Amino acid sequence: MAKNVTDVYEEFGGERLPPGQRETKRFPVLSKSGTPSWDRESWRFDAWGAVENELRFSWEEFRELPSETQIQDFHCVTGWSKFDCEFTGVPFPVLADRAGVDADAVHVMFHAMDDYTTNLPLDECMRDEVLFAYEYDGEPLPPEHGGPLRVVTPHKYAYKGAKWVNGVEFLAEPERGYWELRGYSNTANPWNEERYS
């Protein structure tokens, strides 16, 4: 049974469709470059930094982690939103718990196979709705949408949800990711229209 988290907007005091967004039934594809290829046998996911236990998972090991299916809304910084997306994956707190996050960890950097990075404060990640998603609508996540694994962040614009993610770094000091260094908002709250800094 999928857990419906589409009411996350209530926490931010806004309407379900954030200001400046239009609803679409399609799922447009945007990325900073092309779709990277991957190999199931050599793929690895790493968690490191300000943690007690650095982690490394093969694809099969990652798929064995506790997972859940959620219905989420998806908000792109370019102005479109897609409602009722069904994602299945590993909630961020599950991974953080396995790693044993240090007391001085305050920030997270997501790393992807195409060298993309994006950052969030640790407390913005420690939510069950932040998923490392590997299925969309009950099927393997398509490569163009970030498969085999992407992060979804329904309380943020979607550039905070790295496609093709293969690592997460726990940081004792904030750092900025790829788009954040290029003028995109560091906070990315759709209900405040935090698109650019």
CB atoms within 10 A of CB 63: 14
User: For residue 188, is it within any domain?
Assistant: yes
**What's the Cα-to-Cα distance from 79 to each of 23, 67, 186, rounded to whole Å?**
9, 30, 17
Q: Minimal CA–CA distance to 121: which of 91, 88, 160? A: 160
Domain contains 124: yes
Do the bridges between strand 107-112 and strand 44-49 make them parallel or antiparallel, or are there none, so unpaired? unpaired
Residue 93 lies in a domain: yes
Mean predicted lDDT score pLDDT of the chain: 95
Residue type, position 72, single letter: Q
pLDDT value of position 30: 65
- Domain assignment present for residue 36? The answer is no
The region of weakest confidence among 22-26, 30-34, 51-55, 123-127 is 30-34
Write the secondary structure of 21-39 as one string of H (helix), E (strand) and C (coil): CEECCCCCCCCCCCCCCCC
Q: What is the CATH number of the domain that holds 61?
A: 3.90.420.10
- Domain with 15, as residue range(s), is 3-29+46-192
pLDDT at residue 29, rounded to an integer: 72
Rounded mean pLDDT, 11-17:
93
For 161-172, write each residue's pLDDT tens digit: 999 999 999 999
Instruction: Give the model's pLDDT for residue 34.
Output: 76
> Is a pLDDT exceeding 70 seen at residue 32?
no
pLDDT, tens only, 114-168: 999 999 999 999 999 999 999 999 999 999 999 999 999 999 999 999 999 999 9
pLDDT band at 35, cuts 50/70/90? confident
Residue 31 has pLDDT above 70, yes or no: no
* Residue whose token pair is 């050599």: 42
Q: Is the pLDDT of residue 68 over 70?
A: yes
